[in-house]
Amino acid sequence: MNKIKFAYFGGEPLGVPVLEALKAADLLPSLIVCNPDRPSGRGHMLTPPPVKVWAEENGIEVFQPTNYKDDVAKSRLEAEDWDVFVVVAYNFILPEWFLHLPKHQTLNVHPSLLPKLRGASPIRTAILKDLREDIGVTVMLLDSEMDHGPILDQEQVYIEDENWPLSGPNLDQLLATTGGELLAEIIPAWVAGELSPQEQDHELATYCSRFEKGQNELTIDPTRLPAGDKAWNMWLKINAFTGIGDTFFMHEGKRIKIKAARFE
């Protein structure tokens, strides 16, 4: 087969690990599209997203559109003939023309076993709600509805009791790598016409949303730590919010952030 020409649209936290898995399979995009550089840190220094840094380190052209409402992004993408687009944790609402521009449409890696946990926070919600049975990755065709498109393949990820719950960053990495490896198998098979998409059972869909401010707060007395189910649920919450604000509690008027903990 000739080299597959595809563009990769990626964001955090999954974008770079998926790219690493594709690279290991000798399957690299011709173009990487990511968010614009943004101010970061106390000095508000303009900082490139990790996906852009990875692209530059690997000598791949980068495109950073600010939106898909004007003709800038459309003109750039229409300038070349694409076999397929790949979207991974890319936080833009994508228009209908985008999905069908490549010859073989647009693939997406979603870190849950769809139709379970559609939405913005499937990994951290799976930890928070103790949903080990829903942990895995899905590669699907994007359509105009959220996490709704037909499935090309899925892989469940089993985690032993003694390792559960994983911290959020560790589960991010595990599912991104698993998704990247699955994607590396699917892209050539899909382009070659060897796969048949399967419609999701939409009646079984469950949903997760973005976390709200303050949702990472614990109600806890550090002099009388909880036990049993209450302790377990707090442990799940600590792991779910690790790396995305971390959990905290208020004590004697002070806000105390939890940076490390253990469950016994």
pLDDT tens, position by position, 113-166: 999 999 999 999 999 999 998 899 999 999 999 999 999 999 999 999 999 999
Instruction: Round to whole Å and give the CA distance between 122 and 128.
Output: 10
State residue 264's pLDDT score: 81
Answer whether residue 45 shows pLDDT above 70.
yes
Mean pLDDT of the chain: 95
Confidence tier at 223 by pLDDT (50, 70, 90): confident
DSSP 139: E
Contact 196, 221 (CB under 8 A): no
Contact 81, 105 (CB under 8 A): no
Confidence tier at 72 by pLDDT (50, 70, 90): very high
Closest to 88 (Cα-Cα) out of 128, 118, 51 = 51
State residue 171's pLDDT score: 98
10-36 mean pLDDT: 97
Q: pTM of the predicted model, to two decimals?
A: 0.94
The alpha helices in the chain, defined as continuous H runs, are: 15-24, 50-57, 71-78, 96-100, 122-128, 168-191, 228-241
Answer whether residue 42 shows pLDDT above 90.
no
User: Left if phi > 0, otherwise alpha if psi is -120 to 50, otherwise beta: which for 135?
Assistant: beta
pLDDT tens, position by position, 51-61: 999 999 999 99
